[in-house]
Amino acid sequence: MRTAFYISDGTAITSEVFGHATLSMFPVEFNHQTIPFVETTKKANEIRKLIDTVAETSGEKPLVFFTFVNPELSDIILSSQGVCYDFLSYASEIVKRELKVKPVPKMHRTHSIHESTYDFRIDAVNYALANDDGANIKDYDEADIILVGVSRSGKTPTSLYLALQYGIKAANYPMTEDDLESGRLPKCLDNHKRKLFGLTIDPERLAAIRQERMANSKYASLRQCRIEVREVEMLFKKNKTPYLNSTRYSVEEISAKIIADTGLKRHKY
């Protein structure tokens, strides 16, 4: 199997995201290797040797996606037997030409604590945890968004993703059978209608998820799931609550759709 290396002087997250997006276009399996925090010539030389060893023992040149602030480290990796791609260099040339400003590379630029938005994200994680699953309805004034839906419709992972990635304070409130039977929004949400965003889900998928949690319960029965989903969607429509069906979407996709639909302000780019 061909080896792909993702290498950087920082977390190597950018190298991974870029390399993975490139390789995912090819119908080929890869052995992925991430090597973060390559900050010295000694470490870079070790990695160069590792790349060469893989090339020699496998008979196939590894694909190497890398980025370094220090050009000395780049040169060491470029001298390996891998097919090396310094993927930011070409883009930065284009930007430089257009802006007529020279790049000023600095360490740990994109995924470090030095970003001014870092505290927002940790605050938002704490907020999401404290306001998970209807735990803390008194803090809804502070919410950027309140996700609503039946139990296990994807609210919690979405609220955590919005917090961790974007610093968005997302509370979530589970619609209980009592809420659904009454046919109206619970009182605690009345003053926050404009912050609500609904998640719904196909009853079959919901039953499968609930089954893993509480096998053979009424809660997990397809009949119960159908009733709850129908009622919650009626409630969303009645209250003009925007909503989406999470069944076929990842937490990244759900989050991106919510941000695009609501115009929520993000604290991180």
- Which 179-198 residues touch a second copy, going by CB under 8 A? none
Q: Is 183 exposed, middle or buried (0-12, 13-18, 19+ CB in 10 A)?
A: exposed
Nearer to a second copy (CB atom), residue 95 or residue 188: 95
Nearer to a second copy (CB atom), residue 11 or residue 79: 11
Q: Per CB under 8 A, does 50 bind a second copy?
A: no
How many residues sit close enough to a second copy to count as binding (CB under 8 A)? Answer: 75
Q: Per CB under 8 A, does 137 bind a second copy?
A: no
CB of 35 vs a second copy, minimal distance in Å: 8
C-alpha span between 14 and 7 (Å, rounded): 9
Q: What is the DSSP letter of 66?
A: E
Which residues 6+ apart lie within 8 Å of 173 measured at CB? Answer: 133, 134, 137, 146, 147, 148, 155, 186, 188, 189
CB of 13 vs a second copy, minimal distance in Å: 6
CB of 30 vs a second copy, minimal distance in Å: 8
Q: Is 240 annotated as a binding residue?
A: no
- Shortest CA distance to 77 belongs to which of 170, 147, 6? 6
Q: Is 255 annotated as a binding residue?
A: no
Q: Is 194 annotated as a binding residue?
A: no
* Given 1, 17, 107, 188, the residue binding a second copy (CB under 8 A): 17
Q: Is 151 annotated as a binding residue?
A: yes
Site for a second copy in 53-112 (CB under 8 A): 61, 63, 65, 67, 83, 85, 87-88, 90-92, 94-96, 98-99, 101, 103-106, 108-112
Q: Per CB under 8 A, does 21 bind a second copy?
A: yes
Q: Is 22 annotated as a binding residue?
A: no
Q: Which residue, chain included where needed, has tokens 């052995």?
A: 31
For 126-172, the DSSP string reads: HHHHHTGGGTTGGGGGG-SEEEEESTTSSHHHHHHHHHHHH---EEE
Residue 87, number of CB atoms within 10 A of its CB = 15
Site for a second copy in 150-169 (CB under 8 A): 156-157, 160-161, 164
C-alpha span between 88 and 84 (Å, rounded): 12
Binding site per annotation, positions for ADP: 149-156
